[in-house]
Chains A and B, each alone.
Chain A
Amino acid sequence: MAQQAPGEKNVPIIELRHVDKYFGDLHVLKDINLKVEKGEVLVVIGPSGSGKSTMCRTINRLETIDSGEILIEGEPLPQEGKDLTRMRAELGMVFQQFNLFAHMTILDNVTLGPREVLGMGKQEAESRAMELLKRVGVAEQAHKVPAQLSGGQQQRAAIARSLAMQPKAMMFDEPTSALDPEMINEVLDVMVELARGGMTMVVVTHEMNFARRVADRVVFMADGQIVEEGAPDEFFDHPATQRARDFLDSIKGH
Chain B
Amino acid sequence: MSALRRAARPRGTSMRDALYEEPGPRTRRKIVIGTVLSALLVAAGIAAVVRQFYVTGQLAPRYWSFFLEWTTWRFLLQGLLGTVEVAITAGVIALVLGLLLMLGRTSGVAPLSVVCRVVTDFFRGVPSLLLIYFFFFVPAQLGLKMPSFWMLALPVALAASGVLAEVFRAGVNAVPKGQVEAAVSIGLSPAKIMFKIVLPQAVRYVIPSLIAQLVVVVKDTTVAYVVSYPDLMQNARVLITSYDALVSMYLVVAVIYILINFLINKASVYVANRTGVKIIR
Contacts and interface: CB of A to CB of B under 8 A. Distances in A.
A237 B26 CA distance: 49
A119 interface: no
B22 A64 contact: yes
B5 A25 contact: yes
A231 interface: no
B24 interface: yes
A6 interface: no
A23 B24 contact: no
Contacts of A62: 21
Interface in A70-108: 78-81, 84
B242 interface: no
B3 A81 contact: no
Interface residues of B, number: 13
A80 B3 contact: no
Nearest to A61: B21
Interface string B73-93: 000000000000000000000
A79 B24 contact: yes
Interface in A11-59: 23-26, 28
A80 B10 contact: no
Contacts of A81: 24, 26-27
Report, as a range, how many residues of chain A touch the other chain: 10 to 19
B108 interface: no
B25 interface: yes
Interface in B1-60: 2-6, 10, 21-27
A81 B26 CA distance: 9
A195 to B, nearest CB: 27
B26 A23 contact: no
Nearest to B26: A80
A24 B27 contact: no
Contact of A24 (B5, B21, B24, B26): B5
A81 to B, nearest CB: 7
B11 to A, nearest CB: 9
A24 B3 contact: yes
B6 A23 contact: yes
Nearest to A80: B24
Interface centre among A23, A25, A64 (most CB of B within 10 A): A23
B6 A80 contact: no
Nearest to A53: B11
Nearest to B25: A79
A23 B2 contact: yes
B27 A80 contact: yes
A61 to B, nearest CB: 7
A24 B2 contact: yes
A23 B21 CA distance: 15
A78 B2 CA distance: 29
A252 to B, nearest CB: 29
B54 to A, nearest CB: 45
Contacts of B2: 23-26
A64 B10 CA distance: 10
Contacts of B5: 24-25
A81 B23 CA distance: 10
A23 B22 contact: no
A25 B21 CA distance: 21
12 contacts: A23-B3, A24-B2, A24-B5, A25-B2, A26-B2, A61-B22, A62-B21, A64-B22, A78-B24, A79-B24, A79-B25, A81-B26
Interface of B: 2-6, 10, 21-27
Given A23-B6, A25-B2, 15 more contacts: A23-B10, A24-B3, A24-B4, A26-B3, A26-B6, A28-B3, A61-B22, A63-B22, A64-B22, A78-B24, A79-B25, A79-B26, A80-B24, A80-B26, A80-B27
Q: What are the 6 A-B residue pairs with the smallest beta carbon separation, nearest first?
A: A80-B24, A79-B24, A24-B6, A25-B2, A64-B22, A24-B5
